[in-house]
Amino acid sequence: MTKKLGATISLERILSKQGFGTRKQCRIMIINEEITVNGALCGDPDTTFSPENLSFTVKGEAWDYKEKSYLMMHKPSNYECSHKTQHHPTIYSLLPHPLVVRDVQCIGRLDEDTTGLILISDDGQFIHRMSSPKHKVPKVYEVTCKHVMSDEQIAHILKGVKLIDEPAPIAALACERISDNVIHMTLSEGKYHQVKRMVAAISNRVEGLKRIQIGALKLPDDLKVGEWRWLSDNDMNNLRSKE
């Protein structure tokens, strides 16, 4: 059902929809005067508000109402992009609990030893648009190689390398040398260990891997390893750009 413009919702339901607990748990927090809305204390769980542009605090922590979650994270090494991890902590442990409760998902997982830009959302359409191969959203990786990358090797990556279990050669959209052992490789696919396998196919080896750009959205210089933030309107526009 489409929500009517300007429709109001009880504070109890708003908090529950935002991941702060069951409606009963949220009701208790409100009655215990642990919630403020737009700067004012609200102790009545049945008070209704328009969610649009709504700001509130829960036990002193400030939040803005978000119908859907759109996040970016600077993924650290030795973290897994899974809710059910095997050997390392999950990146979801770096997020506030209410967002995890909303069942946010990574958009295109990074290996446990890969760092850099990762998108997280609970919007299924957005996840599909950003991850589906048919949309060909380019992604740029900073690749540190064990050996010096020669002009011939870069040309080979741009022409296409043959990978096991792939019917046709796989080519990078772009490959730029940054230093003797560091390249920026742009791909529009997300095949299993693709960067590592492509570099191995030209007789080199990946020593470090970091995703630095998705679409036209670059990993911000001020987003430290392990930190996350909400995507801004400008960020969303950059993600829609394939240039």
pTM for this structure? 0.89
How many C-beta neighbours within 10 Å does residue 19 have? Answer: 19
Per the residue annotation, which of 46, 111, 180, 221 is the catalytic one?
A: 111
Looking at this protein, which amino acid is placed at residue 196?
K
Selected residue with higher pLDDT from 86 and 138: 138
Instruction: Indicate the pLDDT class of residue 132, thresholds 50, 70 and 90.
Output: confident
Domain 70-133+217-240 identical in fold to domain 138-214: yes
The verdict on whether 111 is a catalytic residue reads yes
**Cα(142)–Cα(126) distance, rounded to whole angstroms?**
25
The mean predicted confidence, pLDDT, of the chain is 92
Selected residue with higher pLDDT from 10 and 134: 10
Q: Say what the pLDDT of residue 87 is.
A: 84
Instruction: Indicate the pLDDT class of residue 164, thresholds 50, 70 and 90.
Output: confident
Span 49-68, pLDDT tens digits: 999 889 999 999 999 999 99
Can you name the CATH fold of 70-133+217-240? Alpha-Beta Plaits (3.30.70)
Taking residues 147-174, report their average pLDDT.
Answer: 93
Can you name the CATH fold of 138-214? Alpha-Beta Plaits (3.30.70)
Domain locations along the chain: 9-64, 70-133+217-240, 138-214
**Among the four given CATH numbers 3.30.2350.10, 3.40.720.10, 3.40.50.1950, 3.10.290.10, the one describing domain 9-64:** 3.10.290.10
CA-to-CA separations, 217 to 89, 108, 117, 138, in angstroms, rounded: 26, 15, 9, 10
**Cα(38)–Cα(8) distance, rounded to whole angstroms?**
15
CA-to-CA separations, 12 to 16, 21, 29, 45, 168, in angstroms, rounded: 6, 10, 9, 5, 55
Taking residues 40-52, report their average pLDDT.
Answer: 94
Contact 200, 209 (CB under 8 A): no
Q: CB neighbours of 103 closer than 8 A, spacing ≥ 6?
A: 122
pLDDT at 198 over 80: yes
pLDDT at 240 over 90: no
